Structure 1
């Protein structure tokens, strides 16, 4: 055994052994001393690694048998052969001299911990080491020369922060069977050397996201022992080499997210062991080879987002193994295989955005496992198969933008797990049936631009989770059911272009989350409900109906007369513009049509004017006297006269400037910040509002002038313009803005439960931490819906750029509101949801990693930040905790738990009693997807809403239901 005498632990062990030999104990003593040296090393390892799990190694008793320690494996002679502390939440360094102290060591598994000090250099001297796993351990720095590990079979250093040159020295470790470097984007740009072909035993080669450039090496075809080849997430160019077809044992081939071009080689059909192939997100052309589709073990075929043409080979319908077919966003033509899914446990059909023709495959759900039908934007014809109505596992059913016809099977509307039913832009007929009450997880119902008829059933209120309804441009008649007002989450109601009659239900005023209300081009009659106008959705249209009576004053104030055009019976109480005869004046009541009425009106008006002037004079005198008295008593006076503010209102106000300004006194202060003060003000009507008083900066005064109002700083102006233009139940409501020469006042709705950060992490955890998971899930889903609205439902997407738990406010019912839009960015690139801005903004711990090298903020940055918040909700931990280590945060910690199957260990200990642990684990998995280091792999916020809705506690479900939420296989259901 060669000793490294430069290592302090080695010197200690060498001295210890020498002393024993000198004492005359001979060979037996040496053996005993070696065992004692192993105990000494393990004891030192316990001291080096901080973490409660190390308490499992108890050295307090004499003659302790460390071979019985959890995580320690020994041979029959008591020699340590394995150390496995995977997911122990340890933080520290591996002590040096490990190979000298533990000469029989064969396996070291340190994954999902926090390993300090870079790659544990002492391990490279372990000539007997066969397995080394450092995955997801926050290891940084260079990978050393690994050639001195001649016995190494398995090397997993995935998901770390290695930098510098890629360790091509692994080519000298000819015993390697598994080499996993996945997700190490810090390596220098490199190209794999042909010397890797020396690894004759290599089965698994994972080099995804390692900054690899150039083409896919043709010599890979010589590594015939490969079963798993993953090169995705790099910048590989050129063609897929035909030589890959010479890999007879290959089961998994992943080349997605590269820049590959050319055709998919038909020769890959020679890979008879292949089960999964993913060539998505490249620039591939040509057709999908029939030879690949005929592979007997093929389970997953993914080639989406390429430039593929031709038909999907019919032979795919004969497969007995196929689970996933995902070829959307190509240029494919022809018909879908008629027998697709007939003979296999088919799960996912994603063929959207192609040019496919013919009917939908009737047997897609023959084996009852289909969850996704996504065929939108094709040229499909025929009827929706009746068999789809019985496909209860379906989560998303999207067939929009095709040429489908016939009646929609009634059961489609009643799918119990579906979150989206999208039938829009077809030639479909039939009614919306009463059975829709059974769609208890439905959030979006889209069926616009069809030929549907019948009436809108009141049973639609049974689908209580509905957020969006778009049934526009059909032939639906009858009245709008009053029951629609019970859909409390409804954000969009689009019923324009139908044959609706009757009056507009006043119950629609109960839809406080409504952003889009379009009832135009129908035959609605009666008056416009006054209460409905208090909602003022972002988009409101009552035009071209048979409405009558006066236009509500609120619509006139907001300049929304165009939204009521085409209703001959409507009128206005007074003329706003004498040159605009768009709407007539309402007829005067009969009692006022008498001689001399004009004179009486003038008398009344003059008297009223005199009274107003007198009242204002008295009020001014009272204010001045009150101010003099306060100054005499040494009390603070009002910061400014209310007349010195310019007001911009965004909602109907129940208060005036005077009431707000006079309440800005010390006793109402509830918080201070770097830019101003926050007040809690109780209005005379009993309502509460929050007021931000922000001082005007010197620079802003210089830009806008010293004397006038309207000195809005850039961030304040951004917040005012953003919040003033949007309305959503999960975005904080800005009532108005008072802008003055020295200060600006923002008046918001008051949130009695403060912000989410304080609720989760505040001193004493004042109660929120002990609320059940359904409440936390509601918070997460609400925030996701608010962000999805910002990203997807506006003309120009808005990137918040500072999503964090302290910017999420909670109302009395713990309904969340996204706040603080001071650094939000409106993406003017219309239709580009990932358009970017180049100003770095946000908060440490919530920032997406691409900020570090691109300084670009996109909607995917908000998705990442939301993922961090979702982890906070599920774990109860802050984004940065000492237990994570200096180089790790909650993202790495949670990702490690999920990847290692230890999700339950990461859940908030305050909810250990919760019967909803499976749902919490599902939320963690969603959070991990949101925080993927590659932005393109993160879901959109619209997708996040659906995933959370699908994985959340069902409404009204009890703890007993949660405890039994498993199928016969023991797996959790969605």
Structure 2
């Protein structure tokens, strides 16, 4: 009896031991305790292969044996067999161990989303014929997708937001059990077209193939897949018309075809989709009208058709909707009125975005009835009438933009005091009334635009209480009285435009304390008194005091920078010394009267003596330097006056040096760097000032053709008109966050660009070590200031010039730091001035010469050489990630074929932003700036979206960073003025909004 009982126990133990040995042979290294069964052994192996703090939830140390069915993320049936593993957002990194199907034969669900799954698609899963749910979204999986036909039980397959390449897995057509297929955001697939075999997926409810490199037209046979409730084909290369057959999808709730090249009309037949809740046809080439049948759908929540060529009106029936949340039809050719009842019966209405159309009539009076409206964006239309008084009580508003219309009447005071609004834009209308003192209640306001109206009264001092203000533009109004001194408290102010008003009194010297001020325009007023010399500390930014009643001497720095035009039209101004004849005529300031004539003679003699001594010293120094160079025989230094005088000079600022002083210092000991475009020298001038000189080797032509083909207009440019035009354009730039180009010397064999010198090196060195960088100084407020400065500089290049400039090589090593760690964008060696195409749109300005640096390049470079401003936005997003994480763009920790963008995007999408932040900043307290840094990461993710059109503009980035800065009090979930609406879609097409 004892013997038979013992045998009955030994036999299953022996069987288990054999299975366990087999499993170890398949990949175990002996780290799993021998007492575990096969399922526990596999889970232990998985814990080992996916190390991370979250795996401590699986405790294998308990005795006599761990109950893995109680582990978090593990599901079992009644018999103890593992049926599901869900480690979503555990922030794990590793490879899935082999043998999962044999070790866990009852496994039905495997969820690995928001982790770091390495080694490509786990081939071991192909043997899991019982697996029903597989989710590896946001997991950085790369490489080709194998034939999935063997996974014959799959119902849900989510492979979205990864880095797959090669052919699209059309083999999914053989898995007829599929109900959900999601490959969203995998732009690396080869160009492909969906095969008709997909019709075999008769159970399919969700088909998401956005941004998968699909091309051709929308297959009409999709209309036969009548089980579909969600069809998303956005961000591809689809052309042609929207097929009428889609109207047969009677269960369809979501239809998203945005960001394609679709043409023709929006079919009226889509109104047959009675279950439809969300439709997005934006960013195509659609024509015709918005079908009334669509607007009549009882369940319609989201109607997005922005950036098309739609005509006609917005159907009035939309005002009867009870479910509408988002109406976004901006940038079309729509006419007529905004439905008057819109919002009246829709308690969840959140967005009205109808900008850039030809709409007429009044603003809809009931838009705020539901109390949920956050965005009123109606700019650039033909709207008339007043602002409805009810809008002043619409406290949830984040953006209120009604500029470029024909609106009139007094602005309700509550509009200036909206507590959550970050932008209030009233410009280019016919508004009247004052800026009220209640503006102090606008705690989150960063931009106040009200230019070109008839606003009157005085500028209230209470506006200084809105500490987050970045831009104030109240130009061309009827504002009178003084400029409040307290404006100097607005430490984050970037733009103050008050020109074209009736301001009186002096210019407040307190404005000089606003170090972030890039634009100060006080022209065309009635200001009096002297120009405070301290304001010149803001140079080289844009300063304009012209056409006032100012008097006294013009500050010397304005003269040195050649900015006399900025003080023109002030009869009382004078200069302390005679200027050249090309300068605006200004009288000499009266010389102080001396009491004795002898003293005057002594003064004149003394000045002359000092000038002579200075000249003699300069000549002597030049002779000594030349003699020393001849004695040392330095390579690369000119050895004769002929060589140093063979340069033509093009100056962009008043110079305190001449070409001899520059050329003679081009010796080896002054070299500080080499680049693809030339050699960089650090030169100390006789004045003690430091400059950086980049020596560019010119492109030679045959000697006998130089004169014949030189069309440059200057002998030193070797006929390189493109280089000359580019340098002259860059020399005209005046922005505090762009390195100042003093001048260019063009010669027979090289061109010399003379820049201001940056003593603190570049941002790469400061963040990652080496060179002049000093990490200890870069706390988060400093890093945020760097980010803001770079963003403002790029916004200037993209938006504030007659022709936008694409830098095309934004990276941390091209961001220089001055003595105060103020950033300066540098190295325009590959930047190109974009020429405006007649009738073209600057938003689409681009160049086609491939350039840039790996790790910073936008993904569209993989299939196109077209460089746009959105490429700079992407590169800036990478720099912003560097600032927040302290990581380099490429690091081994990110995994094969992965970079900081994928690593950060995964963290943000999984809600693990805090794990990505630079741990070294804990020196200033672990949570002191945590929220601001998280906000910055979210902005960075927006900037690095794989679809260029979904990236914000640099102007938007400046706005978002201002809201996310230290001491910001704005809510966490601010949204962008155009593309924020995608956040409410069902598939997370965009990362969380900042």
Shorter-chain TM-score above 0.5: yes
Q: What's the CA shift string for 1:847-903, capped at 9, x where partnerless?
A: 111122212221111111111122223333222121211211111122222333333
Q: 1:309 Cα deviation (Å)?
A: 2.2
Instruction: Please say if 1:251 is aligned against 2:221.
Output: no
What is the SS of the residue equivalent to 1:361?
coil
Which residue is equivalent to 1:230?
232
> Is the CA contact 1:732–1:817 (under 8 Å) kept in the aligned structure 2?
yes
2: CA distance between counterparts of 1:315 and 1:299? 14
- Equivalent residue in structure 2 for 1:276, among 256, 274, 278: 278
2: CA distance between counterparts of 1:626 and 1:652? 24
> Is the CA contact 2:884–2:937 (under 8 Å) kept in the aligned structure 1?
yes
Which residue is equivalent to 2:444?
441
Q: How does 1:87-166 map to 2 (within 5 A)?
A: 87-166=89-168
> Is the CA contact 2:553–2:589 (under 8 Å) kept in the aligned structure 1?
no
Q: What's the CA shift string for 1:27-75, capped at 9, x where partnerless?
A: 6743565474445545555565576766766768895555555554443
Q: 1:145 Cα deviation (Å)?
A: 2.5
2: CA distance between counterparts of 1:838 and 1:629? 47
What is the SS of the residue equivalent to 2:842?
coil
What is the SS of the residue equivalent to 1:943?
helix
Summarize the Cα distance change of 1:198–1:614 in structure 2 as closer, same or farther, 3 Å threshold: closer
2: CA distance between counterparts of 1:957 and 1:442? 9
2: CA distance between counterparts of 1:680 and 1:583? 35
1: CA distance between counterparts of 2:77 and 2:771? 49
> Is the CA contact 1:868–1:879 (under 8 Å) kept in the aligned structure 2?
yes
Aligned length: 931
1: CA distance between counterparts of 2:262 and 2:701? 55
1: CA distance between counterparts of 2:607 and 2:135? 85
Instruction: Please say if 1:471 is aligned against 2:456.
Output: no
Q: 1:235 Cα deviation (Å)?
A: 2.3
Which residue is equivalent to 2:794?
787
Q: How does 1:707-786 map to 2 (within 5 A)?
A: 721=728, 724-733=731-740, 746-748=754-756, 750-752=758-760, 754-762=761-769, 768=775, 773-786=780-793
TM-score (norm 1): 0.83
2: CA distance between counterparts of 1:434 and 1:406? 18
Which residue is equivalent to 2:301?
299
2: CA distance between counterparts of 1:509 and 1:787? 23
Q: How does 1:278-427 map to 2 (within 5 A)?
A: 278-342=280-344, 343-427=346-430
Q: 1:255 Cα deviation (Å)?
A: 0.9
Which residue is equivalent to 2:483?
480
Q: Comparing 264-273 with 565-574, which one deviates more in the overlay? A: 565-574
Summarize the Cα distance change of 1:315–1:717 in structure 2 as closer, same or farther, 3 Å threshold: same
Q: Comparing 126-135 with 941-950, which one deviates more in the overlay? A: 941-950
Q: 1:957 Cα deviation (Å)?
A: 10
Q: 1:658 Cα deviation (Å)?
A: 9.8
Summarize the Cα distance change of 1:958–1:227 in structure 2 as closer, same or farther, 3 Å threshold: closer
Which residue is equivalent to 2:871?
861
> Is the CA contact 2:87–2:111 (under 8 Å) kept in the aligned structure 1?
yes
> Is the CA contact 1:696–1:712 (under 8 Å) kept in the aligned structure 2?
no
Q: 1:698 Cα deviation (Å)?
A: 7.9
> Is the CA contact 1:770–1:911 (under 8 Å) kept in the aligned structure 2?
no
What is the SS of the residue equivalent to 1:442?
coil
Summarize the Cα distance change of 1:795–1:55 in structure 2 as closer, same or farther, 3 Å threshold: same
Summarize the Cα distance change of 1:371–1:915 in structure 2 as closer, same or farther, 3 Å threshold: farther
What is the SS of the residue equivalent to 2:160?
coil
Instruction: Please say if 1:455 is aligned against 2:483.
Output: no
Q: Comparing 117-126 with 351-360, which one deviates more in the overlay? A: 117-126
Q: What's the CA shift string for 1:83-113, capped at 9, x where partnerless?
A: 3444455555434443233322222233344
Q: Comparing 874-883 with 476-485, which one deviates more in the overlay? A: 476-485
What is the SS of the residue equivalent to 1:461?
helix
Instruction: Please say if 1:827 is aligned against 2:834.
Output: yes
Which residue is equivalent to 1:209?
211
> Is the CA contact 2:737–2:825 (under 8 Å) kept in the aligned structure 1?
yes
What is the SS of the residue equivalent to 2:172?
helix
Which residue is equivalent to 1:841?
851
Q: How does 1:423-822 map to 2 (within 5 A)?
A: 423-529=426-532, 531-532=534-535, 535=538, 541-548=544-551, 560=563, 562-568=565-571, 583=585, 585-586=587-588, 612-613=611-612, 616-617=615-616, 620-621=619-620, 644=644, 676=679, 679=682, 689=690, 691-694=691-694, 697=697, 721=728, 724-733=731-740, 746-748=754-756, 750-752=758-760, 754-762=761-769, 768=775, 773-811=780-818, 814-822=821-829
> Is the CA contact 1:379–1:402 (under 8 Å) kept in the aligned structure 2?
yes
Which residue is equivalent to 1:30?
15
Instruction: Please say if 1:875 is aligned against 2:885.
Output: yes
Summarize the Cα distance change of 1:721–1:89 in structure 2 as closer, same or farther, 3 Å threshold: farther
Q: Comparing 280-289 with 708-717, which one deviates more in the overlay? A: 708-717
Summarize the Cα distance change of 1:515–1:872 in structure 2 as closer, same or farther, 3 Å threshold: closer
TM-score (norm 2): 0.81
Which residue is equivalent to 2:27?
none
> Is the CA contact 1:734–1:749 (under 8 Å) kept in the aligned structure 2?
no
Summarize the Cα distance change of 1:95–1:631 in structure 2 as closer, same or farther, 3 Å threshold: same
> Is the CA contact 1:89–1:884 (under 8 Å) kept in the aligned structure 2?
no
What is the SS of the residue equivalent to 1:152?
coil
Instruction: Please say if 1:899 is aligned against 2:909.
Output: yes
Q: Comparing 351-360 with 621-630, which one deviates more in the overlay? A: 621-630
Q: Comparing 818-827 with 533-542, which one deviates more in the overlay? A: 533-542
2: CA distance between counterparts of 1:663 and 1:288? 68
Q: What's the CA shift string for 1:520-563, capped at 9, x where partnerless?
A: 44334455555546655665554444445565665556555555
Which residue is equivalent to 1:943?
956
What is the SS of the residue equivalent to 2:431?
strand
Q: 1:276 Cα deviation (Å)?
A: 1.5
Which residue is equivalent to 1:19?
none
Q: 1:203 Cα deviation (Å)?
A: 1.5
What is the SS of the residue equivalent to 1:261?
strand
Summarize the Cα distance change of 1:155–1:619 in structure 2 as closer, same or farther, 3 Å threshold: closer
The unaligned stretches of length 5 or more in structure 1 are: 1-21, 960-971
Summarize the Cα distance change of 1:637–1:278 in structure 2 as closer, same or farther, 3 Å threshold: closer
2: CA distance between counterparts of 1:905 and 1:848? 25
Summarize the Cα distance change of 1:885–1:392 in structure 2 as closer, same or farther, 3 Å threshold: same
Which residue is equivalent to 2:29?
none
Summarize the Cα distance change of 1:924–1:520 in structure 2 as closer, same or farther, 3 Å threshold: closer
Q: What's the CA shift string for 1:648-704, capped at 9, x where partnerless?
A: 76567788999999999999998787855665969978xx85x43545648679999
2: CA distance between counterparts of 1:446 and 1:226? 46
Q: 1:451 Cα deviation (Å)?
A: 1.4
Q: How does 1:919-934 map to 2 (within 5 A)?
A: 919-934=932-947
> Is the CA contact 1:326–1:351 (under 8 Å) kept in the aligned structure 2?
yes
Q: Comparing 373-382 with 158-167, which one deviates more in the overlay? A: 158-167
Q: Comparing 640-649 with 388-397, which one deviates more in the overlay? A: 640-649
Q: Comparing 150-159 with 506-515, which one deviates more in the overlay? A: 506-515
Summarize the Cα distance change of 1:701–1:623 in structure 2 as closer, same or farther, 3 Å threshold: farther
